Amino acid sequence: MKIVSIRGATTVEYNDKEEIVKATKDLLFKIEKENNLIKDNVISILFSSTKDLNAEYPAKAARLLGYTQCGLMCFNEMDVLDSIRKCIRVMILYHDSLKQKDVKHVYLKDAKTLRPDLNK
């Protein structure tokens, strides 16, 4: 057993509580499915969002999905000129036999531009 990191990101159209929670849930569902995650093996989930998103904590979506035994934290993403806006990023620290090279990172909506290498 080892620890791997699983990355992902998504975007929303509006700074709205329901939209932030829904987009984050969708992202987490896709990451779970692609990597066959077991919730009990999740050590922690770190969320960041661009400064234009402040209506809700993305971590709320994780709690609603049953991530209650792992650490969750939210941060502001670094504000880079001309970077993607209304973006939620996630990094999951996961304890499993999964190898880092076999991890499937998930980038949705406009966030696909962050990792064009994954969309081939």
107 marked as part of a ligand binding site: yes
pLDDT-derived band at 15, boundaries 50, 70, 90: very high
Taking the CA atoms of residue 19, residue 48, residue 119 and residue 65 in that order, the dihedral angle to the nearest 10 degrees is -50
**For the whole prediction, is pTM greater than 0.85?**
yes
For the chain, the domain total comes to 1
Four-residue CA torsion sign, 24, 26, 32, 38: positive
For residue 26, tell me if it sits in a domain.
Answer: yes
For residue 53, tell me if it sits in a domain.
Answer: yes
pLDDT-derived band at 120, boundaries 50, 70, 90: low
85 marked as part of a ligand binding site: no
Return the active site residues: 7, 63, 74, 77, 89, 107, 115
Tens digit of pLDDT for each residue in 60-110? 999 999 999 999 999 999 999 999 999 999 999 999 999 999 999 999 999
Report the C-alpha gap between 77 and 88 in whole angstroms. Answer: 9
For residue 39, tell me if it sits in a domain.
Answer: yes
For residue 33, tell me if it sits in a domain.
Answer: yes
Tens digit of pLDDT for each residue in 21-68? 999 999 999 999 999 999 999 999 999 999 999 999 999 999 999 999
pLDDT of residue 118: 84
For residue 120, tell me if it sits in a domain.
Answer: no
* Radius of gyration over every alpha carbon of the chain, rounded to an integer in angstroms: 14
* Separation of CA 18 from chain center: 16
89 marked as part of a ligand binding site: yes
For residue 66, tell me if it sits in a domain.
Answer: yes
pLDDT of residue 116: 86
pLDDT of residue 87: 98
Tokens (6 digits) for 104: 């499937």
Residue numbers of the domain that contains 35: 2-115
Indicate which CATH number applies to the domain containing 107.
Answer: 3.30.1330.40
